[in-house]
A and B are shown apart, each in its own frame.
Chain A
Amino acid sequence: MSNELTPTDNSVPPQHAPRATDINPVSEKRAEQQIAILFALSGIGSVLLIYSYIFVAKDVFIFIPVMGNQNAQQLGIGIGMAMSLFFIGIAAIHWAKTLMPDKEVINHRHEFRSSDEDRDELVKTVKEGVAGVQLGRRKLIKRSLGAAIGLFALPPVLLLRDLGPLPKKQLETTNWKAGTRLLTDPGNRPIFASDLEVGAVVQVLPAVEHEDERPLSDIAKDPVLLIRLRPEDFQLTPEKFAMTHEGIIAFSKICSHMGCAVALYEQQTKHLLCPCHQSTFDVTRGAKVIFGPAARPLPQLDITVDGEGYLVARAPFNEPVGPSFWERNSQ
């Protein structure tokens, strides 16, 4: 073997092998034609785009195997655009690879570190500049400057204050009060206990003044799930059991983890499952967390019936619903 193996010997210039197009005029001619064809394909794409935009109606669907029914106009515009772009690109690259000069060249690098004189001079200039400010001697200026800059940092933060209202008690309260009727969602109808069969799940919202205009921020905390089991299915503390009514138990539908809607109920296991991060709550044991990242059971609503026999809340939730927050008193 040759001595080119030693890495220190790096003097060999990069090799340059001529391409077919460099030596053979036929290849050269062919490459030129190929490039022209590629550009022409791009042109066809543009025409397809324009045609689809102007002449294809919006509601025409065509069936394409694998893809199913496709909107002809969107597809035509898309394919046209893809062709017109893609082939310009391919043509340019093919051109560069076959016909443009492909000789590699060498640039030299220099170290990035500045020369010692430059660095010393810079240090000197900066030092002189700093000395000229005389902060060391002028204590009064130094202190007032510090104070002014400190204060100056406050206004920008303050100016953002009006972005929103203060939280007050909004995260701790809902529209559920003693005596609030449970209304079906959707439908806004009050319900009798007898409307629910054993095993049934119903989503309810509190009766409020304008039921058709609930703000979304209310819908983000008011929804409650009613689930009816046989009373003997429950394994609850006496207080929690007292909050149920004839086997109907009511939980906040807002996940105690990060606030998604706990929407999936499994009949056989009597588990509620949150689709966001799969926290699973056991309905028979007061929505105790049996799996997943949620750290607290879903808050339970105390329910009963009013004089007309409609289901109502006996009391507001006794803890905040939804995800945790710093001010939440969870004891």
Chain B
Amino acid sequence: MTSTEKRIGNAANFVDERLGAAGWVKKSLNKVFPDHWSFMLGEVCMYSFIILLLSGTFLTFWFDPSQRDVIYNGVYEPLKGLKMSAAYASTLDISFEVRGGLLMRQIHHWAANIFMAAIVAHLLRVFFTGAFRKPREFNWILGILLLTLGLVEGLFGYSLPDDLLSGTGLRITSAIIQAIPVVGTYISFFLFGGAFPGVGFIPRIFTLHILLIPGIFLAVITIHVMLVWYQKHTQFPGVGRTETNVVGHPILPVYMAKAGGFFFVVFGIIAFLSAVASINPIWLYGPYTPGQISAGSQPDWYMGWLDGLVRMAPPLETHAFGHTISWNILIPAVIVPGIVFTGMALYPFIESWITGDKREHHLLDRPRNVPNRTALGVMSITFVMVALINGGNDILATNFDLSINQIMWFSRVGIFVLPPLAFVITKRLCLSLQRADRELLLHGSETGRLLRLPHGEFVEVHAPISPEKAFILQSHEQPVALAIEEVDARGVRRPGAIKNKIQRRLSKAHAVSVPKVTEEEMKEIEHH
């Protein structure tokens, strides 16, 4: 035994004699992780979260979360002598007087954007592959929670410097709160510590931003990852992979080395971006004052779609009995996002209601094999994209010489027309991909080589595909629609007939698919 081995042995012995953890740790280290590039998206989320914790802590050492007035007297000439909040002044100081401070600010902001992008990408991969199905519904819901928390955390974060841009964002936030019927005005006064912009909001969201929300994040991410650990990772179909096994690399050493290395790679890329690409140059915007505004006011991209919905809302208010209800704010900023996020959280249960499938699933779907789900996903992406485009309508108008009115009307119509269109197109596309798979199985892949038959006809030579590939093309289940009768055997209408009808219709639509190649067909081919 080398001395290192002996030292490790001693340490392990010390711990185990006190915690008796050897059995559990051994079991955990035997876990295997399947390999696929898309399984790294969740890791990118986790790593950018760690980077946010590190860079954010650095920033707290200098940031002064106070709305107290100060006269700026730092090194940035254009703002010298101006009255501004201590929050804004200290952000200027971090940018210009702390060595590496600007870099850290940019790392923090870039990491936030990448964090949100990675969450969305991770969510899409989980959605399109059906990884959210039983038994992973809890993790799906926790994921939606993380996404929602991320939006709030990001909004609070970029509001902290109290520059003209972020102050405008807070003005809008306060208007949304005020629009809530009955209690809105009170909540807004309490949160802001008085009439907007109040005296308390920045110190308060600071506490939420650096303590409460990261705490919740940490707890939820821990549970999320522990569940992945406990339930074991899903895997794509392939030879040797079943619903009852996991095929992949063990934690030690390969997965550990790759994952650990990947953390450094993500951090390195974010550091590089932050070194060369400026993000949120607050000194150009100036300190916040409610009487002014900078043209082209834009939130971070993950809020942009909400802003786009607000922009396209019709000018509707109800005035009655001495009260005002602002539908132009409530619908785009409260009701629609509420429906979107609730719908997302409930989706696994909705789908299993439609398919009647209550089994566990550990093998992932190829998106084409579940056309309805895939189409729904593309439809939702289209909805958000139209909203996002409208959120940037002023930028688009100036850059592409369009009129804002055109873009706005395009979006107002598009938000209703384009998502259903995307649904139909995607569903068709999935089905023709299924058909292509079937062709591939039956006739092999096209080689591009032509062969002249004895009687003069030309045919293309088809090469048989590899057994591994063929296996994957055949591995999915043929979906069947639920058989729900509206009337029972004696012709009496069942209770809940309408519900049954909806379920039957949806189930039928969900089960639309190209027939799989049967064994007889396969045999027939072999005979030729």
Contacts and interface: CB of A to CB of B under 8 A. Distances in A.
Nearest to B51: A85
Interface stretch (B252-260, B379-387, B446-454): B252-260
A220 interface: yes
Given A4-B471, A71-B102, A276 B293 contact: yes
Given A96-B253, A164-B193, A326-B185, A1 B526 contact: yes
Given A13-B240, A77-B99, A95-B257, A104 B247 contact: yes
Interface in B285-300: 288-297
B421 to A, nearest CB: 25
Contacts of B264: 85-86, 88-90, 92
A88 B474 contact: no
B7 interface: no
B172 A258 contact: yes
Given A105-B248, A109-B244, A85 B178 contact: no
Given A105-B248, A105-B250, A275-B394, A293 B313 contact: yes
A112 B135 contact: yes
B338 interface: no
Contacts of A4: 239, 467, 470-471
Interface in B224-251: 231-232, 238-250
A327 B310 CA distance: 22
Given A104-B247, A112-B135, A293 B103 contact: no
Given A164-B190, A259-B196, A295-B326, A107 B271 contact: no
Contacts of B246: 106-109
Nearest to A274: B293
B269 A102 contact: no
Q: How large is the interface on A (under 10, 10 to 19, 20 to 34, 35 or more residues)?
A: 35 or more
A167 B194 CA distance: 7
Interface in A57-76: 58, 67, 71, 73-75
Contacts, number: 331
B276 interface: yes
A104 B31 CA distance: 12
Kindly state the interface size class of chain B when it binds its partner. 35 or more
Interface string A92-129: 11011100111011111101100000000000000000
A326 B180 contact: yes
Interface stretch (A136-144, A260-268, A300-308): A260-268
Contact of B290 (A5, A15, A261, A294): A261
Given A10-B240, A277-B311, A331-B322, A81 B275 contact: yes
A160 to B, nearest CB: 7
Given A216-B197, A276-B172, A327-B323, A10 B254 contact: no
A73 B175 CA distance: 42
Interface string B192-210: 1111111010001000000
B432 interface: no
B260 A12 contact: no
A1 B239 contact: no
A163 B193 contact: yes
Nearest to B320: A331
A1 B236 CA distance: 24
Contact of B322 (A90, A295, A329): A329
A330 B467 contact: no
B522 A323 contact: no
A278 B275 contact: no
Given A74-B103, A220-B197, A331-B322, A1 B180 contact: no
A85 B260 CA distance: 11
B475 A325 contact: no
Residue among B238, B268, B292, B314 with max Cβ neighbours from chain A (10 Å): B268
B254 A100 contact: yes
Interface string B505-516: 000000000000
A21 interface: no
B349 interface: no
25 contacts: A15-B239, A75-B275, A82-B271, A88-B261, A88-B268, A93-B257, A93-B261, A96-B253, A104-B32, A105-B247, A106-B240, A107-B32, A109-B244, A112-B360, A217-B196, A264-B295, A275-B297, A276-B293, A293-B315, A295-B315, A322-B175, A323-B329, A326-B323, A326-B324, A327-B324
Shortest beta-carbon contacts, A-B, top 9:
A78-B275, A86-B268, A89-B264, A92-B261, A89-B265, A258-B175, A85-B268, A220-B290, A96-B257
Interface of A: 1-2, 4-7, 10-15, 53, 58, 67, 71, 73-75, 77-79, 81-93, 95-97, 100-102, 104-109, 111-112, 160-161, 163-167, 170-171, 185, 203, 205, 216-217, 219-221, 223, 253-254, 257-261, 263-264, 275-279, 289, 291-296, 322-331
